Structure 1
C-alpha cells in the first residue's frame, strides 16, 4: 500500500501500465482526480476545500485564519504529477459530479479509487459482482512533510432539515420533530423492531437479523429514508458498525473489516473549522464566490496544461486572492472566530473525541 506521495504515484503507474486485469489493454486508471478524488489528496496535506467548488483552505493558527500556501502548492504539484504521468482520466475536469469515476470504479477500471458513496453497501456489492476476483483494501492518508493525518472524528452538527414557511400546521411539524428526538424513534430507525427484525447478541456483540423476507420488505427500503432525523447520541450503545453490518453477508463483512482499519488510523488533524462558516456580508460573499471560481479554474488549468508551471500558477493564485478580496474575507472570518471560538466546533475539539471500541470479526462471529 502506498504511504507517501512518491509511492502513491508509482502504484498509480503500476495500475495504469501493468495491465492489472490481464486483458492486454491499457484501460485502467491509477486514480480519479474527479470529485471527490482530489479530496483525498487535499486531506493528505492537511488542507480542506482547496480545489472544491469552494475556496476555504483556511487553517487556524494563534486564533487567526491563515491560508496554508505552501501546502496548497505541494498539493497541486502532486495533482499535476499524476496528470502528466498519464495515470488519471484526462477529462476529469468535466466529470463534475464524479459519476464517470464511480462507473470506472464499478467496472474495475480504477486502481485507487476515492468515489462518491464508496462506503455504500450496494455500491460495493455491485463492484464485487462485476469484479469477483478483486478485493478492496483501504489506505491511510499519505504521509507528507507536514505530517501523517488520520481520518479523524467528524462533527455531526449541521443543518438536516428546514420547515416550509407556508406550513399549514407548524405546531404539527414541531410535534413530529419532537417525536423524532426520542430514544424510541432512534432505536426503531437504527435497528428495527426487536424480535421481528433483529435480536441482540450476548455481551453487546451486535445484532442478528431475523426474518429476511420481512426485514427486506418492511425495514430495508423504508427506514433509511427517515434515518437522517434520528439523534444517534440517544442510542450511543448501538450507534456503531457492530450494530450496522451483518457479518454473514460477505460485503458487510468486508466493509466492517475496512472500518476497523480506518478507525485505527484516527489521528490528529490541523486545526480547522469543522462545521458551518458564518454568512458573509453581501459584498464579501460576492467576492468570495468569484474568488472560489477563479481559484478552482487556476488549479485545474495548472494541472491540465503542461506549459503552465507550478511557479506561474502559484503567482497567479496569490495575485487573484489578493485582488479578489481574499485578505478582507480572511479578516472577517478571523474576527468572527475570535468572538465565538468558545462555541465554534473545530478539529481541535473533534480530535479529542474517542471512537467506540470495535470487536474483531472473530469475536463478533461467536454465537
Structure 2
C-alpha cells in the first residue's frame, strides 16, 4: 500500500509594523518626523503606549511610566494616543494581508501571523509574499513593516525582529539549528528577566546550552514551561495560525489620580464591572471566570480569579464577585494601589455551556 504523502512544510510569516502608533503620528504630522515621539498622555499616572525609534535611543519603551520616559528623554514630544486612527490603518494592513491568504491571525493592531503555505496570490515563495506585503504597506499607508519568514510561528516572530526597522529576515528549515544555537535564552518568547536569571544560574546562557538539557530535568524544574523550553530549543512549534480566534477574555482597567487603599475601591470596581459586562455581551459568548487585577504603588501586579458554579448573570453579579476577590489579596492594610481592573475569561458559546451543565444536572449522572 502506498504511504500517505507527508504534509507540505509550513510557511509562516510574522508581520510587525515598525513603532506603529508613533509612526502614524509622524506620518500625519510632518513636524514630528525625525524627532523623539512618545505616544502617551502626560501625567504622573500615565504609561507609554509607543515610542518612535528616535525616542528608543534614549531607552524609552512601551509600558514605561511616562514620567520616567520624560526623564530619560527630556526633549521628547508627547502625543496623546488616537486609537481610532490606529485602528483604521490596522484595517488597511489587514486587507493587504488577506489578499495573499485567508489564514491571518492578528495578535494586536500592529502585528499578525500569516500561513502562506498555499498563498492565494500565487507568488512563488513565502519570501516573495512577505516582500509584496511590505511593499504594498509602504505604498498604501506610507508606513514600514518588518517581517520574518520561517517554518513556524515561534521562529517567524524572532525573525521579524532581526532586522527591524523596515527589515525582512528568512529562516529556512535547514538553517534552524544553526540559527538558534548561539542565541541568548532571553530571545525565546516567554523567557523574561526572572526566568533568564534562573536558567543562567543553571549554566544555561544560550539556546544551544538549553538544547543540551534533557526533557526530564527541564520539566522537573519548570513544569509545563520546561517542556515548552525543550521544544523551542529545537525549533519545534506546532501551533497553527488561527484566523478569527474567538474572544478569550475581556477586561477594563482604571489608573487612579492618587494611590488608594483596597477598601476604597468599591466605586471603581463597580464601574469597571459594568464596562466589562457591556463589552462581554457584544461577543455573544458566555464567560465563566472573573478576574480582579491590581497594581500597587510600587508597580507590583496581582491578579485574583474565581470560577463560580454558574457564570455571572449581570453586571451587578460580576461586580459582587470582583469585590469579594479582594479578600484574597493578602497584603498589609497600609498597601496603596494605583490601578484596578475587572475582567472576564473562560469564554464559551452559550450552547456549549448548556451541554456542560447537562453533564452535571442530567439524569443518570452522578457527581460522586
Q: TM-score, normalised by structure 1?
A: 0.24
Which structure exhibits the higher relative contact order, with contacts defined as CA atoms closer than 8 Å and separated by 6 or more residues?
A: 1
Q: Please state which structure has a larger fraction of its residues in strand.
A: 2
Q: Please state which structure has a larger fraction of its residues in helix.
A: 1
